[in-house]
């Protein structure tokens, strides 16, 4: 797992760490029709899911859908990423996003916490919000793949010691599959990152998809 995160953000203040997230486009409207034999996946997260700085067909959900289709799965991956979302914002909109789907999803891929970390929000608050989202998904009997984050080194060992274990702890507690660090093998390679040093470019997203698609496919085949 990479031990360096968001070097571009490390010298910024907590308010400036994330680049104008709310200004990027939100996910497109969800089409109503969905074939009965199509597996439905909702990718619920922040700018890393929404496709900040890339075309929508280059975003994580779009590339993941193509990769899963190439594995022989009939699947629709809906982009429910909103740039700038903290775990608190995600918690506020989760039920609305789920209710807006044509039916209960077969799987939710949940990836939030990066903006909490960049803003120095208390890890206790992050964990509480993530746990509330996992409880909601558990209540609805929806399988989850959780994608984790690690703290930027400028936040110090104490913060990292509280923040980094959140995802593995909750994955175990709520029986979710865990992909430990969304940007593993990507954040340390400038060729795979946008100039902001925070978000992956299309090639970086393709690397993430290549690394996580087998896990997602296995969940959908169970």
Angle at 51 (CA atoms; ends 213, 13), nearest 5 degrees: 115
- Tokens representing 176? 């979710």
Tokens 């409207």 locate to: 29
Strand order in 143-147's β-sheet?
75-81, 39-45, 107-111, 143-147, 177-179
Read off the DSSP letter of residue 43.
Answer: E
Listed in sequence order, the residues at least 6 apart from 183 whose beta carbon sits closer than 8 Å to its beta carbon are 2, 5, 48, 200, 204, 208
By residue count, the chain amounts to 222
- Determine whether 199 is an active site residue: yes
User: Which of these is catalytic: 106, 128, 189, 196?
Assistant: 196
Pairing of strands 143-147, 39-45: unpaired
- Between CA 131 and CA 19 the distance in angstroms is 26
Read off the DSSP letter of residue 108.
Answer: E
User: Which of these is catalytic: 47, 59, 76, 83?
Assistant: 47
User: Which of these is catalytic: 24, 83, 199, 213?
Assistant: 199
- Determine whether 47 is an active site residue: yes
* Residue pair 207/185 in contact by the 8 Å Cβ criterion: yes
- Between CA 128 and CA 30 the distance in angstroms is 29
| Residues labelled as active-site residues | 47, 196, 199
């Amino acid at each position: 797992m990479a031990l360096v995160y968001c070097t571009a953000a490390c010298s910024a203040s907590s308010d400036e760490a994330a680049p104008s997230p709310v200004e990027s486009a939100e996910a497109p409207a969800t089409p109503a029709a969905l074939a009965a034999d199509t597996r439905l996946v909702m990718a619920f997260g922040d700018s890393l899911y929404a496709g900040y700085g890339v075309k929508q067909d280059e975003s994580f959900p779009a590339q993941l859908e193509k990769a899963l289709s190439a594995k022989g799965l009939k699947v629709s991956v809906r982009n429910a990423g909103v740039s700038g979302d903290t775990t608190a914002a995600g918690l506020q909109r989760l039920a609305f996003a789920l209710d807006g789907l044509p039916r209960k999803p077969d799987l939710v891929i949940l990836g939030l916490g990066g903006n909490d970390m960049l803003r120095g929000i208390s890890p206790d608050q992050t964990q509480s919000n993530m746990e509330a989202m996992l409880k909601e998904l558990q209540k609805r009997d929806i399988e989850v793949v959780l994608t984790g984050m690690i703290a930027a080194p400028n936040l110090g060992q104490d913060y990292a010691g509280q923040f980094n274990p959140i995802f593995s702890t909750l994955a175990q507690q709520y029986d979710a599959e865990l992909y430990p660090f969304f940007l593993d093998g990507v954040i340390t390679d400038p060729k795979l990152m946008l100039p902001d040093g925070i978000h992956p470019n299309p090639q970086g997203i393709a690397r993430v998809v290549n690394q996580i698609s087998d896990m997602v496919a296995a969940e959908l085949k169970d």
